[in-house]
Amino acid sequence: MISVKEMRALEINSSALGVSTLLLMENAGRSVKDEIVKRFNVKDKVAYVYVGHGGKGGDGLVAARHLADEGAKVTVILLGENKHEDAILNLNVIEEMDYSITLVEIKDMDELKPISADILIDAMLGTGFSGKPREPFRSAIKAFNNSKGFKVSIDVPSGINADTGEAYEDEYVKPDLVVTFHDIKPGLLKYNFNTVVTKIGIPVEAEIYVGPGDLIVNARSRPYYSKKGDSGRVLVIGGSYTFSGAPTLAALGALRAGADLVYVASPEDTARIIAGYSPDLITIKLRGKNISPDNFEELKLWIDRADVVVIGPGMGLAEETIEASKLIVNYLKEKNKLAVIDADALKAISGFDLYENAVITPHAGEFKIFFGEEPDKNIRDRISQVITYAKKCKCTVLLKGYVDIISDGKRFKLNKTGNPGMTVGGSGDTLTGITATLMAQKIEPFIAAYLGVFINSLAGTLAYNRLGAHLTPTDIINEIPNVINNPLDSFKRKLYKRVLS
């Protein structure tokens, strides 16, 4: 099954890979014709195509053109202006086909009456529809259902919510055949329609690899009436007597990704250094040179206030810090707290059973420490390995590498938007911060993890295009807004490529 949102992401990803939505529309409309031709000799048959707004209307126009080419007597009934770019191009073609196709533009509801034909095609309301049909579609649906002929719905019958199957009373098309694209839509399962699934040329890679479509359909908008904290409170627990940069980078990554408030809890001297890096960060000064069990009670108060907790960047592996990491992670698990566990904290809790609201972000060495096994060199075996271990630890695993692999034990995604410059120290810390912000904005952990690595890697590649292998983590941070604000444009500007073999 595939939801409306997932299908939209695939179409955008497909376009970004070079398979245009215009080509997908062509394939969709032709597949409708093909399914009809399987059932009828359409030569000299009378066909009516009811065309609405959006992409579904465009699919209907393509189907009309191909039916006319097969010798059918085609009439296209236009139900208002279509502003979809690809549909307009196909309408321009239909307007020039005045010998083989009759074009009727409905301007009055009284014109919508039941007809008798051999074939009727429903290209009215698409997968974006929900609620109660408005005019002229309400009258058109009624006329369509009361007409005589073999009735075909494109993708989903008009008037039905593609995700839920909900329909307002009896105001939806009742077809003899549904031709749906790429995969079954969940709403169709509520009905006993004769449904055929056809492929329309979307590359497998558009689904497997994270792309700009995934970010576009999942990104959270910020309403005008938002108040402080609505876009997330992130707590970063990290830093030590030796390391101050890692938690700072994680926190700055979280801020640039759109978190409202970011707190950094570090040992007191380290926290003062971090505060000096940026006035944007709120520091919590913990007693001692390293994070220790003595800090646990104070940290619990801050953990409870945060939407998401990042733990690990720059914590070090002092004995007292390892014990603190175990205490904190157990508390996070007890609270089922959204968390990103990385770096030294991940090493400290190797072998732990985690929980579904946790994301871990190991590189190959940390993966071996945590799971006791090196990542396989064969990429397909490595994917299976990550899926298996994600299921075992009951969390989302983001294995960083030349191709990043993300799995929650049931699903997986790959990312290859990075570049060789991403080996610079600190790029993983920016990733944890971005991922934490997405989780704080109510994006589920698995999706937040694959969007986080996509944003971080693509931001790094934009910086790499400018600087080559001389980029720093702060260069990555500076590019984060460009990726989030313009994911499709940023993806098209990506120059560095690699091939999965």
* Mean pLDDT of the 174-196 span: 97
Digit-coded pLDDT (tens) for 267-305: 999 999 999 998 999 999 999 999 999 999 999 999 999
Digit-coded pLDDT (tens) for 22-41: 999 999 999 999 999 999 99
As a whole number, the mean pLDDT across the chain is 95
Binding residues: 122, 126-132, 155, 158, 246, 314, 363, 428-429
Residue 396 has a pLDDT of 98
Residue-range domain boundaries for the chain: 4-208, 231-492
Q: Shortest CA distance to 379 belongs to which of 394, 366, 364, 368? A: 364
Binding residues for (6S)-NADPHX: 126-132, 155, 246, 314, 363, 429
Sign of CA pseudo-dihedral 373, 379, 385, 391? positive
Digit-coded pLDDT (tens) for 300-340: 999 999 999 999 999 999 999 999 999 999 999 999 999 99
Phi and psi based region of residue 50 (left: phi greater than 0; alpha: psi -120 to 50; beta: remaining): beta
Sign of CA pseudo-dihedral 146, 151, 154, 157? positive
Q: Which two tokens stand for residue 195?
A: 């449904």
Q: Which CATH number fits domain 231-492: 3.30.70.100, 3.30.465.10, 3.40.50.720, 3.40.1190.20?
A: 3.40.1190.20
> At what angle are helices 4-17 and 21-39 packed, to 10 degrees?
120
Q: CA 241 from chain center: how many Å?
A: 39
Domains 4-208 and 231-492 share a fold: no
- Beta carbons within 10 angstroms of residue 346's beta carbon: 24
Q: Count CA atoms within 13 Å of residue 287 on its CB side.
A: 6
User: Could you tell me the CA-to-CA distances from 86 to 51, 93, 182, 404, 421 in Å, in that order?
Assistant: 14, 11, 19, 34, 39
* Mean pLDDT of the 69-83 span: 95
**Is 499 a residue whose pLDDT tops 80?**
no
Q: Do 271 and 285 touch, CB atoms closer than 8 A?
A: yes
Residue 493 has a pLDDT of 83
CATH level 2 (architecture), domain 4-208? 3-Layer(aba) Sandwich (3.40)
Residue 496 has a pLDDT of 60
Residue 494 has a pLDDT of 77
Binding residues for K(+): 122, 158
* Mean pLDDT of the 40-50 span: 96
Cα 57 from Cα 97, distance rounded (Å): 17
pTM of the model: 0.93
Q: Show Cβ contacts of residue 267 under 8 Å, excluding neighbours closer than 6 positions.
A: 239, 240, 241, 285, 286, 287, 288, 289, 290, 291
**Is 61 a residue whose pLDDT tops 70?**
yes
Digit-coded pLDDT (tens) for 335-354: 999 999 999 999 999 989 99
Residue 501 has a pLDDT of 52
What spatial distance separates the first Cα and last Cα of the chain, rounded to whole Å?
A: 28
- Strand-pairing partners, residue 195, are 178
* Mean pLDDT of the 6-28 span: 97
- Strand-pairing partners, residue 120, are 48, 151
**Is 139 a residue whose pLDDT tops 70?**
yes
Q: Do 459 and 484 touch, CB atoms closer than 8 A?
A: no
Binding residues for AMP: 428
